[in-house]
Structure 1
Amino acid sequence: MAEFSQAFAIDEKLGSIYGLKVVTRDLTYALIRLNRQQEALNYYDRAITATNNHPDLIRLRDRLMK
């Protein structure tokens, strides 16, 4: 889990849309499996903010909320 968090922080700092799409999806999947849904949503919100509301990330977050 720590590696995902570190990768997320790097991509967030760089504003890497591709990197955030990949790492956020994998990180949130792991968090949900650990029953940590709110934390997963928080990561999506951070990724969406870092990428200026990228529609792919919004779709992934919305799918997670269902």
Structure 2
Amino acid sequence: MILNYEQIDDLRIRLAKIAKLCKKARHDLSHFSGKTKEEKKIKKGLELIYNEVLDPAFISLTL
């Protein structure tokens, strides 16, 4: 699929919004003690999504 500049810009904006929400959620989770298995799983999942998917995609779109 080939995207035009307008679609790429729209995608970049959407990714930035998602990355911002994910970053905020990760920050909010940092205040949890992480004692329960569920909290650890949620935090690890958010970090994985942010670090492995959103951040690289956003960086590649801003180049």
Q: When the two structures are superposed, what TM-score results if normalisation uses the length of structure 2?
A: 0.42
Query: Which has the higher relative contact order, 1 or 2, with Cα contacts under 8 A spaced 6 or more apart?
Result: 2
Q: When the two structures are superposed, what TM-score results if normalisation uses the length of structure 1?
A: 0.41
The structure with more radius of gyration = 2
